[in-house]
Amino acid sequence: EDYRFKSRAYDIRIKQKRRAERAARDAGDQEKHRKLKAESLQFELSVFKDRIKHYPTDLRYKYEYGRRLFETGRFDDAIPLLQEARADRKVRFQCSLWIGRCFFEKNYYSQAADTLREAIASYEMREDDLGKQLHYWLGRTYEGAGQTEDALKVYGQLIQWDYNYRKGDVRKRIDDLRSSQGNKV
- pLDDT tens readout for residues 12-22: 999 999 999 99
56-96 tens-digit pLDDT: 999 999 999 999 999 999 999 999 999 999 999 999 999 99
Q: How many Å apart are CA 136 and CA 170, to the nearest integer?
A: 8
- Determine the angle formed by the axes of helices 148-161 and 129-144, rounding to 10 degrees: 160
Question: What is the full per-residue pLDDT of the chain (185 aa) written as tens digits?
Answer: 688 999 999 999 999 999 999 999 999 999 999 999 999 999 999 999 999 999 999 999 999 999 999 999 999 999 999 999 999 999 999 999 999 999 999 999 999 999 999 999 999 998 899 999 999 999 999 999 999 999 999 999 999 999 999 999 999 999 999 999 876 64
Whether the Cβ atoms of residue 152 and residue 126 lie closer than 8 Å to each other: no
Torsion region of 3: left, alpha or beta (phi above 0 gives left; psi -120 to 50 gives alpha): alpha
Q: How many other C-beta atoms can be found within 10 angstroms of the C-beta atom of residue 124?
A: 7
Kindly give the residue spans of alpha helices, DSSP state H, lying in 55-91.
59-71, 75-85
Whether the Cβ atoms of residue 175 and residue 159 lie closer than 8 Å to each other: no
Whether the Cβ atoms of residue 157 and residue 135 lie closer than 8 Å to each other: yes
